[in-house]
Amino acid sequence: MSEIEKSLYEFPEMMKKALKKEVDFIIEKKLKNIVIVGMGGSAISGDVLIDLIKDKIEIPIEVCRYYELPNFVKEDSLVILISYSGNTEETISCFKQAIKKKAKIVCITSNGILENLCKKYKIPLIKIPPKLKPRAAFPFLFISLLKIIDSFKKELMILEGIEEAIEIIEKIREENFDKKKKELKQEGMLYEIAKLFYKKDAILIYSSEHLKGVATRIKTQINENSKMLSWFSLLPELNHNEISGWQEVKKSNFAVIFLRTKDENERIIKRIEYTEDILKNRAIIKEIWSIGENKLAKLFSLIYRGDIISLHLGKMRNVNVDEVPLQDRIKEILRK
């Protein structure tokens, strides 16, 4: 069994363990903005957080995927730096800038340089379990981030619905995994979607703007687990540009996944309907719907379903779902 498959089976247990971790530091409430720094799966935790709270939080919050912090970061900014390995060079660079700017700093990591810097500068740190693939650590990274925000923004109630989310993940797991072998079953809706998609040249993820973080997660899981090209675009924006790219396509070797929730804006519902009508003879289209009543549960349900599809795809394509040799090659070259 691959490490990714094992981690995916243990996803709800990771959520429960992450919830038990206490935030034992105090964050000043008078903040003007929040910047979440990270790359890959670490940054996606920030994207999904924004999906969850952007209609509630009253101060700007954004994700930084770069070597340099935004210029607006000052002493009244909170910079949350996330690096699973603790050695991500972009994140280390931003840590040093945050120190110079005298911003409020909190870190999430398993070890590495980032942990050592936190000790040196006496920076609050949430330490998570090591020896996971970074993308498999999402439950620890994301829930740790939720707990940091909840510690000084109780009014957002961002952990409300976490129990429902865990129950839903356990239900999806039961539907898709063999309980004894702890392996994916070769049956079910998600398996059938993967069977339609695994020979395609690329998989496009289309969703409403309010699911940007989820779309990012599914796109990157398909890249890393399935070793397939994938990208995402958001409605309504894609109706103002990308849709024209399909005009001369008669029949493509692309697949499209539409991410859906029952609380979509009425205009978005119409846009999805019309977009699917345009694409129906140009690509294979499937919809994945969220499950649950609470917003947090809905986000988790889509993420977990997307993770399962990506693992099915990787197994069908007979690739090593654990290893990412091209990413490793670039890191190795940059170390020289």
DSSP string, 217-265: HHHHHHHHHH--EEEEEEETGGGGTGGGGGTT-SS-SEEEEEEE-TT--
Strands 183-184 and 177-178: antiparallel
- For tokens 């720094």, name the residue: 37
331 catalytically annotated: yes
Token pair 């539409």 is found at: 258
Please pick, among 32, 179, 181, 331, the residue that the annotation labels catalytic: 331
CA distance 333 to 210: 37
Residue pair 117/98 in contact (Cβ under 8 Å)? The answer is no
Residue of 224, 227, 298, 312 marked catalytic: 224
Q: Is 237 a catalytic residue?
A: no
CA distances for 260 relative to 272, 312, 331, 332, angstroms = 9, 21, 36, 39
Residue 142 in tokens: 């994301």
Annotation marks residue 224 as catalytic: yes
Q: Are 115 and 86 in contact (CB under 8 A)?
A: yes
Secondary structure of residue 161 in the 3-state scheme: coil
- Is the CB of residue 4 less than 8 Å from the CB of residue 132? no
At position 67, the amino acid (one-letter code) is Y
- Point out the catalytic residue in the list 120, 240, 251, 336: 240
Pair of tokens at residue 146: 């939720």
Residue 73 CA, chain-centre distance (Å), reads 24
Backbone angles phi, psi at 7, to 5 degrees: -65, -35
Rounded to 5 degrees, φ, ψ at 95 are -60, -50
Positions marked catalytic = 224, 240, 331
